[in-house]
Structure 1
C-alpha cells in the first residue's frame, strides 16, 4: 500500500494544476474561476522515484452548514483524515489570508504530517507571500509553481523521508503468507480482476441521481450530492468490489442539450464525461422515473451505442412511483419504440436513495458485459447464414443477384462480423438490419451494439481480357499461308 498525499487549501490556489502535474495527465478540470473542483479525485502520483496516491480536494470554505460549500468542506476534511500526508497550499502572490490561518489551525489538529507549499511562487512578486507563510507555524514553505513545474525538487526532498517511513510501516504490517493466484480461466469472457477491473460509466442528465447511486454502491459518501443540479463537474473514477466483482466506476457530469451548454467550464465537464464513456466497457444510462426518455436521454444512449459500449438502462427514483406496474409497462414500450438500436438491452428500476434494485443492476451489468464479449463459432455462423438466405434472399439491384458466400466473427467488444459477398456497396441498409436482428435473436445477443461489415470478393474471370492462345498446329498453318 503506497503513501497517500492529499492536496488541500483555499479555492483557486492551484491544487488541481499540481494534481495534474503529479499524475502526469490532465485528469482534473482546471479553470481561472475559483471552486471548480468539488469531488475528491484520486490518481497515481509520481515524483522522480517516489510512487504515491495523490488526492485532489475541493477548496476549503468557511462554511459548516448544509450548503454546497459546507458539504464540500466536510468532504475535504474527510480526505484529510484518510490521507497519510497533507500538502497545504497557499497562493504566494496573494499572501496568507485569515482563511489560511483558520485552516492551518485545523490541519495542525487533524493531520499527522502536514507540508506547506506556497504556489504561484515564480518571480519576485511572490517573495512577500513566501515570507508570510512562515507565520502559519507549519515549517518552512516549499516554493512552488505548479503551472511551470518549479520547486518540485524541494517537494521531493520533503516527501522522501515520509515515504520511507510509511514503506517501513507497511512492510511490518504486511502478512508473511505467500498467495498463489491461478490466472488460468477457461471462460471465453475475460473475468474482471483487481488488476483489470470492470470499467463502468454512469451517465445521464443533471440531477438524475448518478452520484447518489455510486455512493450507495461503494457504501460510503465519497461523492458530493445534493438537490442542486450540476454538482458533479469532473469524471471521477472509484474502485470498488461490488458483490465480489472488481469494478472501476466513473461518475460523470450531467449532460444537458448542446444549445444550453454555454459556459466554458460546463463544456469541459461534458467533454470529460464523453471521454469516460469512450474508456468504459459498460455504460449505465441513468434516467429520472418522473421524466424518462427525454430527447437528451436518447442522445446519451445513442452516443454509448455508437461508441460500441455495452449499455444498461436504469430508471432511478423508483421509490416515489405510485403505480409501478403501469409505469413499468409504459417504460418498456417507450424503450422499444425510441431506442430500437438497443433492442433487448437490460432495463432496470432502482432507487439510489434507498438502494433498492441495486442487486438487479449488478446482474444486468454483468450480463451486458458477457454479451459484449460473446464469440460465435464460424461454422455455426455459416449454417445460420444459409438459413437466413433461404428465408429471405438478398435483392438483385440492376438484375445482378448479390451473393453472400461466407461469414466470420472478426472481433468482440462489441461483436463485429464480416460477410464476404459480391457487390458489397449495393447491399441495402434494410438487409443489414435483417441480418443484425437475426444475430441478436438467434445467438442471444440482446442490447449490445453489433457491427456488420460487407466485404467484396473478386469473382471476375481471371482470364478475361487476355488473348486466347493459338494452338501450335494452327499457328504453323497460318504462318505457311502468309508465306
Structure 2
C-alpha cells in the first residue's frame, strides 16, 4: 500500500522527534533536551486510529549558510516538505511563538502543502496562551497537543483525515513480502551515507567531512533489479570506552537495533585503513547476532592502483575473521558509484546462504564421512560418540548433534565440524550455530 506522506517540521527542540515516536508507536527517533539531535530525515509508518501514513521526522529548521552542516540539514528538511502530502508544523506552546518560528512558517505556507499547526507541550492546559498566540502565524487553528503524554491525538486524527489523500494499493514484490532488510554499518566516516545516496540516486542522507554526522538509524525503501530492499543507514560505531557523549551512546545502541532488525548486514570498511580493531569488533557483533554478512571495501578508487591489494585483503579477512570464513569482500566506491551492483549481488547471495536448509539425510552422510576421517577424541578412556545430526533452524543455519559426552567435546573438534558443514553444504560467510545434545538414555553405556 502506497501511504500518503506527512512531514514534521519546526525549529529545534520543540518536540518533533517525540511526536514522531508517538505517531509510529515506538521509540525510533533519538530524543534529548539538546537542540539539533535529529540531522537526517527519519521515516516510519505512522497511524492514529484508522488513519495510516508515512511520517518523516526532520532536522530543526535554522537559518544557516547553505554549505554548512546546518545549511545541509535545512535543505533536507525543505526536500521533505516538497515530498509531503501534509506538514505538521510544531511550535513549543510554553515558549509561545518566537521570532525564529515566523520565517519557517512562511516557508511552509509558500510550499502550498496543507499545514496542520501543532502547539506542543500543552499538557494539562499548560501553555494555552502560547497556543492561542500561534494564530498569528497564519497557518490556521492550532491543535493544543502533548507528544509526551498523547494529548490531542483525536483532534490531529480529524485534521489528518481532512487533508490526506486516500492511500493507493501497491503490488508487493515478487517475494511477496516487505523486501530484504539490509543494514549498512561501520566506523564513523567510512562513507555509509554517501554510499546509500549513490545507491538510491539522490542526496537523501546528510554527508560531509565531519565525522559522526549520522546519529539516527535511518530506514529507506529502495528497489534493486526489481527486488524491494529496506536500507538502514546507521551512526558510526566506536568503542564504548571512547564514547562519553550521551547522544552518541544512544546512536550506537540505535545502530545495534538496526543490526538486530536486518537480515543482511554490510560492514563498510575504509579501504585505505581496513581491518582496524573496531572493524573486527563490529564483524564479531554481526556474527554473534546471527546475521548474514557482506564486507564492503569503500573508497576503493583511492587504492585501486596497488597491484595484488585485493587478494591480500581477502587473505587478511580469512585470517582475521575465521568465524565467517568465505564471506564476500567487495571493493566499491560510494562516491564514484562503482561496485554497487556487485555489492548488492553479494547481499542477495548472502541472504540465500543464510536461509539455506539441508536435508537430514545429506547431513548424516557427511557426518559419517567426517567421523571416519577424524574421529572424536576419548575422555577418561571413554570415546565420545556422535550418533546423529540434523538442521533445526535456518537464518542462520543451526545444526544439532546427538550423542554421548558431547559436553566434553573440545572446541577444536567443534570448529572442525563447523568448517566441514560450511564447506560441504556451501555456506560461505554466514554464522553457523551448533548445538550439542547429550543422550539422556540411562541404559546408554556408550
- How does the TM-score come out when normalised to structure 1? 0.89
Q: For the aligned residues, what is the CA RMSD?
A: 1.8
- Is the deviation greater in 285-294 or in 122-131? 122-131
The superposition leaves residues 348-385 of structure 1 with CA deviations (integer Å, 9 ceiling, x where unpaired) of: 00000011011110111111111111111111111111
Specify the alignment match of 1:118 in structure 2.
Answer: 119
Q: Check conservation: 1:116, 1:139, Cα contact below 8 A.
A: yes
1:64 to partner: Cα distance: 3.8
Alignment partner for residue 396 of structure 1, among 345, 365, 378?
378
Give the whole-Å Cα distance in 2 for the aligned partners of 1:446 and 1:378: 20
Specify the alignment match of 1:440 in structure 2.
Answer: 422
1:112 to partner: Cα distance: 2.2
SS in 2 for 1:220: coil
1:291 to partner: Cα distance: 1.0
Give the whole-Å Cα distance in 2 for the aligned partners of 1:449 and 1:458: 29
The structure-2 alpha-carbon separation of the partners of 1:161 and 1:124, relative to structure 1 and needing over 3 Å to count, comes to: closer
1:460 to partner: Cα distance: 4.0
Specify the alignment match of 1:467 in structure 2.
Answer: none
Specify the alignment match of 2:216 in structure 1.
Answer: 234
Specify the alignment match of 1:476 in structure 2.
Answer: none
1:428 to partner: Cα distance: 0.8
- How does the TM-score come out when normalised to structure 2? 0.96
The superposition leaves residues 80-130 of structure 1 with CA deviations (integer Å, 9 ceiling, x where unpaired) of: 000011111111111212221101111111132111111111356513322
Which 5+ residue runs of structure 2 have no aligned equivalent?
none
1:394 to partner: Cα distance: 0.4
Specify the alignment match of 1:286 in structure 2.
Answer: 268
Tell me, yes or no, if structure 1 residue 277 matches structure 2 residue 278.
Answer: no
Aligned residue pairs total 444
Q: How does 1:77-88 map to 2 (within 5 A)?
A: 77-88=78-89
Specify the alignment match of 1:59 in structure 2.
Answer: 60
Give the whole-Å Cα distance in 2 for the aligned partners of 1:237 and 1:451: 29
Give the whole-Å Cα distance in 2 for the aligned partners of 1:12 and 1:230: 20
1:311 to partner: Cα distance: 0.7
Specify the alignment match of 1:142 in structure 2.
Answer: 143
Q: Check conservation: 1:64, 1:73, Cα contact below 8 A.
A: no
Give the whole-Å Cα distance in 2 for the aligned partners of 1:159 and 1:17: 18
Which 5+ residue runs of structure 1 have no aligned equivalent?
184-190, 464-483
Tell me, yes or no, if structure 1 residue 350 matches structure 2 residue 329.
Answer: no
Specify the alignment match of 2:46 in structure 1.
Answer: 45
Q: Check conservation: 2:58, 2:80, Cα contact below 8 A.
A: yes
The superposition leaves residues 295-345 of structure 1 with CA deviations (integer Å, 9 ceiling, x where unpaired) of: 110000010011111110100001111533332133122211211111100
Q: How does 1:396-475 map to 2 (within 5 A)?
A: 396-461=378-443
Specify the alignment match of 2:231 in structure 1.
Answer: 249
Q: Check conservation: 2:128, 2:144, Cα contact below 8 A.
A: no
SS in 2 for 1:229: coil
1:152 to partner: Cα distance: 1.7
The structure-2 alpha-carbon separation of the partners of 1:443 and 1:134, relative to structure 1 and needing over 3 Å to count, comes to: same
- Rg larger for: 1
Runs in 1 of length 4+ with deviation above 6 angstroms?
none
